[in-house]
Amino acid sequence: MAMFGSVKFQDSVSGDLGNNLAEFYHDMMLLSVFIMSLVLYVMFRIISSKHKNRFFKDCQTMEWIWTVFPIVILMGLWVPSVSNLYYMNHMGSVGWSFKAIGHQWYWTYEFSDSCNRDFSFDSYMLNSNDRGYNYRLLDVDHRMVLPCGVPVRCLVSSVDVLHSFALPSVSVKVDAIPGRMTQTCLYSVSSGVVYGQCSELCGVNHSFMPIAIEFIPKEKFLHWLHTMKYDKTTILWLKNNVWFKDEDKYVVDQAKEESNMKCTILLFFIIGVTVTFIMTYGKGGGGFFG
């Protein structure tokens, strides 16, 4: 949970993705503070200086410095940005799927089994007077239950206006658009309850449609499906599914994808440097500076 006075993200349960986003945020903020401090320092020195130059001479060294330095900074921001965007939008093989449908002002969760039977329930915010509530304006009467250690496909849509399915602890924020289905992947490395809210202004009760997802161990999740009168054949198939049997499959797959992504980014970087070098020194030495 986010604490009072905190300047960082919530503790992530989504594994490497949440940690990478938090590290990128911290690095970007540190770099922004450095650049802002440098600009303010230079402005102060120029304004406070008694030496005024009406005529400026050409300086190729300075031209190179204020051209190459921003390029290096932008490349340093571009590489982790592309990598994080790739992982956030990547949808590989998953172990289970469900729908989250936004209404004014509550959420409906739907899923089906191999017999094409649909299961759905509505999730409303609990009142402060309701027995057993935990967090004010965050807990609900019916939580969505998901298995931890298993990637789950979440299909998000809306039936009336724009909503947004946001779970900061799982590094997820997806717009719920009427007539359109958007997908994202939910993954938690540990069991527990994560809370979120609608992050799109959707009407007068926008602040009162929270999201509560409970991640439980795989065996308990299969038992929960059994209590929901889920098809036994589908439960047996899930029990034999590789995601429910191999604990390290998701971690290994992420490591392979990260290695491939780094190779792709490095290739684009080499191509960009080569093209820049040709444009600068090609055709008789002409370039950016003549």
Mean pLDDT within 64-90: 80
Sketch the domain layout of the chain as residue ranges: 16-45+59-89, 96-244
Distance from C-alpha of 75 to C-alpha of 92, rounded to nearest angstrom: 28
Q: How many CB atoms lie within 10 A of CB 163?
A: 30
Q: Give the pLDDT confidence score for residue 289 in this predicted structure.
A: 44
Residue 195: name the closest of 155, 141, 139 by CA.
139
For 39, the token pair is 């600009």
Please list the residues that pair with 214 across neighbouring strands. 145, 193
Distance from C-alpha of 247 to C-alpha of 263, rounded to nearest angstrom: 26
Q: Which of 18-27, 85-94, 186-195, 196-205 has the lowest mean pLDDT?
A: 85-94
For 220, the token pair is 């308990």
Amino acid identity for residue 65 in this structure? I
Q: Work out the pLDDT band at 215, boundaries 50, 70, 90.
A: very high
Q: For the chain, what's the residue count?
A: 290
Is the confidence at residue 188, as pLDDT, over 60? yes
**Are 158 and 251 a contacting pair, CB within 8 Å?**
no
Q: Give the pLDDT confidence score for residue 106 in this predicted structure.
A: 92
pTM (two decimals) = 0.71
Is the confidence at residue 107, as pLDDT, over 90? yes
Amino acid identity for residue 29 in this structure? M
Is the confidence at residue 157, as pLDDT, over 70? yes
Q: Which helix (H) or strand (E) holds 88?
A: helix 60-89
Please list the residues that pair with 144 across neighbouring strands. 213
Separate counts of helices (H) and strands (E) for the chain: 6, 10
- For the structural domain made of 96-244, what CATH number should be given? 2.60.40.420
Q: What is the DSSP letter of 178?
A: B
Q: Give the pLDDT confidence score for residue 228 in this predicted structure.
A: 77
Tell which wins on pLDDT, 237 or 105. Answer: 105
Q: Give the pLDDT confidence score for residue 99 in this predicted structure.
A: 92
Amino acid identity for residue 190 in this structure? S
Q: Which of 34-48, 57-71, 153-167, 235-249 has the lowest mean pLDDT?
A: 235-249
Residue 130: name the closest of 138, 118, 121 by CA.
138
Mean pLDDT of the chain: 79
Q: Give the pLDDT confidence score for residue 158 in this predicted structure.
A: 93
For 248, the token pair is 């390290």
Q: Give the pLDDT confidence score for residue 227 in this predicted structure.
A: 81
Q: Work out the pLDDT band at 62, boundaries 50, 70, 90.
A: confident
CB environment 55-92: b (16+ within 10 A), e (fewer):
eeeeeeeeeeeeeeeeeeeeeeeebbeebbeebbeeee
Q: Work out the pLDDT band at 53, boundaries 50, 70, 90.
A: low
Is the confidence at residue 11, as pLDDT, over 80? no
pLDDT in tens, 239-275: 776 666 655 555 545 555 566 666 666 666 677 667 7
Q: Give the pLDDT confidence score for residue 52 in this predicted structure.
A: 65
Is the confidence at residue 48, as pLDDT, over 90? no
Tell which wins on pLDDT, 28 or 254. Answer: 28
**Are 169 and 214 a contacting pair, CB within 8 Å?**
no
Residue 90: name the closest of 270, 250, 263, 288 by CA.
250
Mean pLDDT within 182-202: 88
For 76, the token pair is 């340093």
Mean pLDDT within 50-65: 72
Is the confidence at residue 147, as pLDDT, over 70? yes
Q: Give the pLDDT confidence score for residue 287 in this predicted structure.
A: 46
> Nearest 5°: phi and psi at 170?
-105, 5
Is the confidence at residue 209, as pLDDT, over 80? yes
Q: How many CB atoms lie within 10 A of CB 32?
A: 10
Mean pLDDT within 43-49: 82
Percent of the chain with pLDDT over 70: 75
Distance from C-alpha of 257 to C-alpha of 79, rounded to nearest angstrom: 15
For 115, the token pair is 């017999």
Distance from C-alpha of 223 to C-alpha of 229, rounded to nearest angstrom: 10
